[in-house]
Structure 1
Amino acid sequence: MDQLFITLTSGIANGAVYGLIGLGLVIIFRSTDVMNFAMASMSTLAIYMALSLHGWGAGIIVALVVAVAFGALSGLVVRETLIRPLGQGKLFAALVITMGLSIIVEHLIGQFWGEQPQRFPQLIEGTVTVGNSNLLLQDLATIAIAACAVSGIAFLFTRTPLGAAMRAVAESAVTAEILGINAHKVARIAWALGMALAVLAVFLYAPKTGLTPVVLAPILFRAFAGILLGGLTSMYGAVIGGLIIGVLDNLAAAYISASFRDTFVFTIAVLVLLIRPQGIFGRQTFERV
């Protein structure tokens, strides 16, 4: 029972990371119809910068704030310089650009910081003993910080004029423009906010795995699975889908086989999507032909 509790808690911590990344992806997608495949590498770049700052003597919290700010700024710059000039409807071109940007950033990281894994400091050192097992305080911190971040996003979207504007643009950018909402301003905020959430997620996850230029590749893959499971158009679905993937992943590794953890998780996800293609919280849409 103790081991099950540890496994579930660790799975929730991992799922919180997947959920934060998925939430960032969905916020950008719903506001601009662009799936940012460069999010992983851009976030990793911000975390490498944080690692360098910490190595030069900055506190870990200062490094976190700088990394999140850099991630938000980089999202804004990419949107304004690479995505916005494409215009409306250039989804495939935007997809290719973000994938190409991801490769470029990963190469730059490898050239500047090297390809070898580097240790990243924990926010909170130590463990808590549960029965005969030890629970990382870092996992508890991850769950708490992710919960605060998601609560803040929920407040933003449901209780503020900016959130109402972002929801309006997500429903229909054309209608939002008619109502006097600046869709480009909303898109800029969405890219900055989505990237900030992704950087926070990597910051929480990196102490468990160390840093490499492609550290987020499998994490992004699982975040996408969480998005599809929860519903591509649902922000709540992205978070809950990420949590489900994280828990299933850990349970499979602990009680089935670490070699087949992804096979088990994605088999479950595919079965759910066969029954409900729009995801658990997604909305089914109909097109009149």
Structure 2
Amino acid sequence: MDQFLLALVSGLASGAVYGLMGLGLVIIYRATDVVNFALASLATIGLYAALTLHDRGLPLMLAALAAIAVTVACGLAAREAVIRPLAQGELLSALVMTMGVSLIVESAISTLWDDQPRLFPSLVEGSVSFVGSAIPAQSLLTIAVAAVAMAVVAYLFGRTTIGSAMRAVAESADTAQILGLGSQRIARISWALGLGLAALAAFLYAPRAGLVPTVLSAPLFRAFAGIFLGGLTSMYGAVIGGLTVGVLDNLAASYVSAGYRDTFVFTFTILVLLIRPQGLFGVRTFQRV
């Protein structure tokens, strides 16, 4: 029972990270039709900047804000430089561009900070005793912070004017333009929000994994598994899919084998997609030909 509880909490903490990254990917995709493969690399450069500032005396919480600010600034600069000039509907070109940005950012990180693994400080230390199990406080904080961030995003999209505008652009950029919403402005806000969520996820994940230029590569692909599992355009699906992937991943590592954790997760995802191609919360679309 102790092992199951620890695996479950660890899985929820990992899933919260995947869910935040997946939510960022979905928000950007819905607003701009861009699958942003550079999301992880951009969040990583924010982590390195934050660690540098923390080593120079900046409190860790302020370093977290710095990580978000650096990630958003670099991401928006990359969008203006290589994504915005593309014609509307150039999905494949945009996909390749974000891959290129990812490689450039990883190379820049290696040049500026080197490739050596680094420890990243935890936001909280110690553990909490529950039913005879010592649960890491960092895992509980990760779950709590992710839950608050997801609730804020849900409120933003459900109850605010800017959220309504972002949903309108997601449904039809042309209609949004007619209504005077300004699709480019909404796209920038969507990118900023998505990048900010990725930076927050990275800051919660780094204390467990350490810091190297490719630290977020594995979480990015698991976040993709989560959004395909939940439904590519569903924000709720991205969260639930990410949590599902995180729990399955940790349960497989605890009870099957750590070497087969990804095999187990992606096999499950493929089986679900074979039965329901649009994902658990996606909507099947029909195109007249």
Using the TM superposition, give the Cα deviation of residue 129 of structure 1 relative to its aligned residue in structure 2, in angstroms.
2.8
Q: Secondary structure at the match of 1:50?
A: helix
Q: Secondary structure at the match of 2:134?
A: strand
Using the TM superposition, give the Cα deviation of residue 165 of structure 1 relative to its aligned residue in structure 2, in angstroms.
0.4
Read off the aligned partner of 1:217 and give its amino acid letter: S
Read off the aligned partner of 1:178 and give its amino acid letter: I
1:74–1:192 CA contact under 8 A, matched in 2: no
1:127–1:134 CA contact under 8 A, matched in 2: yes
1:222: which partner in 2?
A: 222
Select between 30-39 and 175-184 the one with higher mean Cα deviation: 175-184
2:32: which partner in 1?
A: 32
Identity of aligned residues (%): 61
Alpha-carbon separation, structure 2, partners of 1:113 and 1:188: 29
2:141: which partner in 1?
A: 141
Q: Deviations over 1:89-138 (max 9, x none)?
A: 11111111111111111111112211111000000011123455421100
1:177: which partner in 2?
A: 177
1:122: which partner in 2?
A: 122
Does the alignment pair 1:248 with 2:248? Answer: yes
1:57: which partner in 2?
A: 57
Q: Deviations over 1:116-167 (max 9, x none)?
A: 1100000001112345542110000000000010000000000001000000
1:165–1:176 CA contact under 8 A, matched in 2: yes
Alpha-carbon separation, structure 2, partners of 1:127 and 1:116: 29
Does the alignment pair 1:159 with 2:159? Answer: yes
1:157–1:167 CA contact under 8 A, matched in 2: yes
RMSD: 0.9
2:231: which partner in 1?
A: 231
Q: Deviations over 1:63-88 (max 9, x none)?
A: 00111112122222222221111121
Select between 171-180 and 150-159 the one with higher mean Cα deviation: 171-180
Read off the aligned partner of 2:284 and give its amino acid letter: Q
Alpha-carbon separation, structure 1, partners of 2:202 and 2:78: 19
Alpha-carbon separation, structure 2, partners of 1:99 and 1:41: 10
Alpha-carbon separation, structure 2, partners of 1:132 and 1:3: 11
Q: Deviations over 1:17-52 (max 9, x none)?
A: 000000000000000000111111110000000000
Q: Deviations over 1:215-246 (max 9, x none)?
A: 01111010000000000010110011000000
2:38–2:99 CA contact under 8 A, matched in 1: yes
Read off the aligned partner of 1:200 and give its amino acid letter: L
Alpha-carbon separation, structure 1, partners of 2:260 and 2:135: 24
Alpha-carbon separation, structure 2, partners of 1:164 and 1:247: 32
Q: Secondary structure at the match of 1:129?
A: strand
Select between 248-257 and 104-113 the one with higher mean Cα deviation: 104-113
Does the alignment pair 1:282 with 2:282? Answer: yes
Q: Secondary structure at the match of 2:124?
A: coil
Using the TM superposition, give the Cα deviation of residue 176 of structure 1 relative to its aligned residue in structure 2, in angstroms.
1.2
Read off the aligned partner of 1:212 and give its amino acid letter: V
2:168: which partner in 1?
A: 168
1:44: which partner in 2?
A: 44
2:126–2:137 CA contact under 8 A, matched in 1: yes
TM-score if structure 1 supplies the norm length? 0.98
Alpha-carbon separation, structure 2, partners of 1:151 and 1:72: 20
Does the alignment pair 1:3 with 2:18? Answer: no
Alpha-carbon separation, structure 2, partners of 1:78 and 1:109: 15
2:16–2:142 CA contact under 8 A, matched in 1: yes
Read off the aligned partner of 1:255 and give its amino acid letter: Y
1:196: which partner in 2?
A: 196
Instruction: Map 1:88-127 onto structure 2 (within 5 A).
Output: 88-127=88-127
How many residue pairs were aligned?
289
Read off the aligned partner of 1:264 and give its amino acid letter: F
Structure 2 gap segments, 5+ residues each: none
Does the alignment pair 1:75 with 2:43? Answer: no
Q: Secondary structure at the match of 2:84?
A: helix
